[in-house]
Chains A and B, each alone.
Chain A
Amino acid sequence: MSSTNERIICVPGQVLCASSNDHVAGQGTFERMGYIYASLAGVVKVEKKLEINIVQVQSLKEQSTVPSPGDIVTARVLIVKSRQCMCEIKCIGDIALTRPFRAVLRQEDVRATEKDRVKMYESFAPGDIILARVLPIMDVHTYQLSTAENELGVVISHSEAGVPMVPISWTEMQCPVNFTKKLRKVAKVIPENIDIDMEDNTETEKKPST
């Protein structure tokens, strides 16, 4: 990573550049009277997408963002009912939240096909960690989630033995200790990937946290 003096650091209200057809305001910025201003304290980043420079400001603290429609979130399942399940959103994208947000995943949003045949109890269990997409807000106080994509669904689930289960198909997970199988709406993630992450972290975590 580059050192501090190569980066542009800004504070809210600071002018970053003039806004034009090829410079638009992205996250952490806003536009006023033809200029792009920073709305956060942090590091300026310019992302190039199709000849357009998106000016962004990245805060060091995870942003005070709230889930917005279309975001991929990591959530923990709290209660499973017959038609829906309650979740709390733990991460938005790769930003870990300090306070979770409540969300609902309805039966018809569990998978893309055969929506009517979805059984909630055969898709999720309390305590599961799922990946989901935020749907447009219909109700004022809760977010709606959807797992109707191959890459979305359960990523971490613990068996009765207390160990993480291994996905064996897109509808089943298995306990590595007593080999019981459980039905889940499994996300399509390369399973080894998770294992490596879990084990590796215990090794690298010993540095003092900042």
Chain B
Amino acid sequence: MPVDHRRIQGPECSEDYRKPKTLDAALLKKGSRRADGRKCGEQRKIFLKPGVVSQAKGSAYIELDHTKVICSVFDPREKASRNLEQQTVRGEIFCEFKFASFSGVQRRSHQQEADDKEYSLLLKNALEPAVCLHEFPNFQVDVQVLVLQDDGSSLAAAITCAGLALADAAVPMYDLPVGLSKAFSGDTEFFDPTGAEERMCLRGVDGESDHGVFTIGFLPTFNQVSQLFHSGHISSDRFGKMISEVGTLAAEVHKAVQAILLSAVKSSIDSSDNSKLLL
């Protein structure tokens, strides 16, 4: 393997001291409570804050218990000219999604890994329908996302967080996008799953047919699904039903995001008023 001269190198090989996590079928116990005490349809408490990065045009931080994601958005800049001849009438969102090396149970590499790249694309596809792309032709808006700690639903958290960061950056948007995630195995459905629940549902417990995890990017005002990322094994009828149920769940998160943004605008108006009074 080539040596990375740009970083301080550790020993050639090292290994995790923890034993690999086994899947915990006990999460599926028929009781009404989940491992962290939530009901199946209950979301973790959301902590959301815009304007956390001073150097960015807009930014936001989201915390779903142990899942922690930070996002910053920059001014539109001219597109990295790939096709000079090709005039595009629409702008573009460029997303870079990265899991911090210490964000998961296992240490991750500094370089962008395959799932970082995949999530970057999924996030871009989830955000673009929400943005008035025609207002900045030939320009791209950079959206940078860093997952500080991953305990499930990190893509969903990133969508919500990036939506708020875009609004904070005053990028014109049709709606505030909301990300939601659901894991299911057999008859049990976990809304806003934790990392353990996600792993278990992705794998499925033997003998039960339907299982999987899906993340949905949602624009509540126009009732649009901008991203539907699913992995698992499920019948179309049930899947269709689950998607249609998402609307009500999204409305709640959407309200919360709107309220946070409103109060952020209010407080910045107040502070700018005060400073004008000082003069």
Binding site for B on A (CB under 8 A): 1, 3-4, 7, 9, 11-14, 28, 30, 32, 37, 39-43, 59-66, 97-99, 101-102, 140-141, 204, 207-208, 210
Binding site for A on B (CB under 8 A): 57-58, 74-78, 81, 84, 87, 132, 135-139, 141, 167-176, 219-222, 258, 261-262, 264-266, 268-273, 275-276, 278-279
A207 with B172, Cβ < 8 A, contacts A7-B269, A60-B268, A61-B57 known: no
Residue on A with the closest CB to B132? A39
Is the Cβ of A13 less than 8 Å from the Cβ of B269? Answer: no
Is the Cβ of A13 less than 8 Å from the Cβ of B221? Answer: yes
A11 with B258, Cβ < 8 A, contacts A42-B265, A207-B278 known: yes
Is the Cβ of A3 less than 8 Å from the Cβ of B265? Answer: no
Output the least CB separation between B22 and chain A (Å): 44
Is the Cβ of A64 less than 8 Å from the Cβ of B76? Answer: yes
Is the Cβ of A9 less than 8 Å from the Cβ of B174? Answer: no
Cα distance A1–B266 in the bound complex, in angstroms: 15
A-B pairs, top 10 by smallest CB distance, nearest first, are A13-B175, A39-B172, A59-B170, A13-B221, A12-B173, A99-B75, A61-B170, A11-B261, A210-B275, A64-B171
Q: How many A-B Cβ pairs are below 8 Å? A: 113
Q: A3-B273, A39-B173, A141-B138 are in contact. List 5 more A-B contacts (CB 8 A).
A: A7-B269, A9-B262, A40-B170, A64-B76, A64-B170
Interface of B is mostly: mixed
For B219, what are the chain A residues with a Cβ–Cβ distance below 8 Å?
A: 13
Is the Cβ of A11 less than 8 Å from the Cβ of B75? Answer: no
Interface of A is mostly: loop
* Residue in A9, A30, A60, A98 whose CB lies within 8 Å of B272: A60
Is the Cβ of B266 less than 8 Å from the Cβ of A11? Answer: no
Is the Cβ of A12 less than 8 Å from the Cβ of B222? Answer: no
For A11, what are the chain B residues with a Cβ–Cβ distance below 8 Å?
A: 167, 176, 258, 261-262, 265
For A59, what are the chain B residues with a Cβ–Cβ distance below 8 Å?
A: 170
Cα distance A133–B132 in the bound complex, in angstroms: 25
For B138, what are the chain A residues with a Cβ–Cβ distance below 8 Å?
A: 140-141
Residue on B with the closest CB to A58? B170
Cα distance A208–B219 in the bound complex, in angstroms: 39
Is the Cβ of B168 less than 8 Å from the Cβ of A41? Answer: yes
Q: Which of B75, B87, B170, B266 has the most CB of A within 10 A?
A: B170
* Residue in B57, B220, B222 whose CB lies within 8 Å of A98: B57
Is the Cβ of B136 less than 8 Å from the Cβ of A41? Answer: no
For B74, what are the chain A residues with a Cβ–Cβ distance below 8 Å?
A: 99
For B81, what are the chain A residues with a Cβ–Cβ distance below 8 Å?
A: 141
Residue on A with the closest CB to B264? A41
Is the Cβ of B75 less than 8 Å from the Cβ of A97? Answer: yes
Is the Cβ of B141 less than 8 Å from the Cβ of A64? Answer: yes
Cα distance A182–B43 in the bound complex, in angstroms: 69
Residue on A with the closest CB to B170? A59
Is the Cβ of A41 less than 8 Å from the Cβ of B87? Answer: no
Is the Cβ of B222 less than 8 Å from the Cβ of A61? Answer: no
Output the least CB separation between B255 and chain A (Å): 11
Cα distance A207–B169 in the bound complex, in angstroms: 25
